[in-house]
Amino acid sequence: MKSRDISLAACSYSHVLEIISNKWTALVIYSLENGTIRYGEIQRRIEGISQKMLTQTLRQLERDGLVSRKVTPSVPPIVEYALTPLGDSLIPCMKMLKDWAADHYSEVGKAREAYDTSGAEPVVR
């Protein structure tokens, strides 16, 4: 059987990875794992995230259908976020990846160290 070329444009897997590979996206999704919470609570749960980055991440997740936003009119308005059923369906997959990282990241670190000390071409990021 002939192997096929991989087309990034047609690869749904790469599109999903693009969504969840952002530094903050997984953390925002995990912060919403146990139910509806307010913006300020999300920000308190995620160490180091700026207001701008949290807002951008939530908007992108809302656009992608993974997060819902509910505004309750009051002074000030109450804004709550929750995972949609689609977002909730992503949690088991993300947990598997998180478990893999916990089990194997030290091996990745050792491989990097071995590569870096082998005299091989440095990796440019």
Q: Structural domains in the chain?
A: 8-117 (1.10.10.10)
CA dihedral of 61, 11, 124, 104, whole degrees rounded to 10? 80
User: How many percent of the chain have pLDDT more than 70?
Assistant: 91
Full-model pTM:
0.79
- pLDDT digit string (tens) for 37-68? 999 999 999 999 999 999 999 999 999 999 99
Q: Cα–chain-centroid distance for residue 24?
A: 6
Task: Kindly state the average pLDDT of the residues 26-47.
Answer: 96
User: At residue 6, what are phi and psi to the nearest 5 degrees?
Assistant: -95, 125
Which of the four pLDDT bands, split at 50, 70 and 90, describes residue 21?
confident
Task: Tell me the H-state helices in the chain.
Answer: 12-20, 25-31, 39-45, 51-63, 85-117
